Amino acid sequence: MTRFAFKIEYDGRPFMGWQRQAHGPSVQQAIEEALGRITGDIPVVHCAGRTDAGVHALAMRAHVDLDYAIAPFRLMEALNAHLRPDPVAINACEEVSEDWHARFSCVGRRYEYRIVNRRAPLTWESGLAWRVPQPLDEARMQAAANLLIGRHDFTTFRSSSCQADSPIRTLDQLDVVRTGERVYVHAAARSFLHHQVRSMVGCLSLVGLGHWSVADMGAALEARDRAALGHNACPDGLFFIGANYPSD
């Protein structure tokens, strides 16, 4: 039995998320079925972090155990051939030790949220970014973001269906960067709660629009109550961009 680790890129628009679903296609299902066409058996693929419907990935990490003799490069090439026409690509494949686990060995996860701040509608970026037509003040957004950095109870920014045992998380990075009409929010932590990034970005947008003060963000955090959430950003602009491991 050989454990293979993957780096995966995908467009989340056609999928119900990473995890297999009874009511629609998923990224996990697409990869597992492609592996089944190669090996004759459908294995289970484990990922570093599940993404929701419509959320994208530039460098999702995952692994699979195969009782099948094949070189990593050949497996990558075969998988990419069998994944067509799904918008999923295996960008790297390597053999790893049996104690390496895409989820449990991961010590850090990074997301990027993309906002296009303009009046005109999106064309080729439709579904790949969140358009906010009113002007955003990125300096105010950063001031509010600074209040969320560190170890906190993030209940306010947690989905009501979140299955995590605790709402306590340590947010290592939350940076707001403008490049022309684009505003990027970079978030990093060991792990995130369900909808945490989208919920934080949604509230940051309220601060940037002037609907909330910076202090309102602090009050929302301290409330520890989902009812205090101002806004949940859409999935379109969210990208899983990286996972860190001790060996990196």
Q: How many other CB atoms are found less than 10 A from the CB of residue 129? A: 21
Strand-strand pairing, 46-47 and 182-189: unpaired
Q: Is residue 52 annotated as a catalytic residue, yes or no?
A: yes
Q: Tell me which H or E stretch contains 207.
A: helix 196-209
Residues 55 and 17: beta-carbon distance below 8 Å: yes
Catalytic, out of 11, 52, 137, 172: 52
177 SS3 class: strand
Active site residues: 52
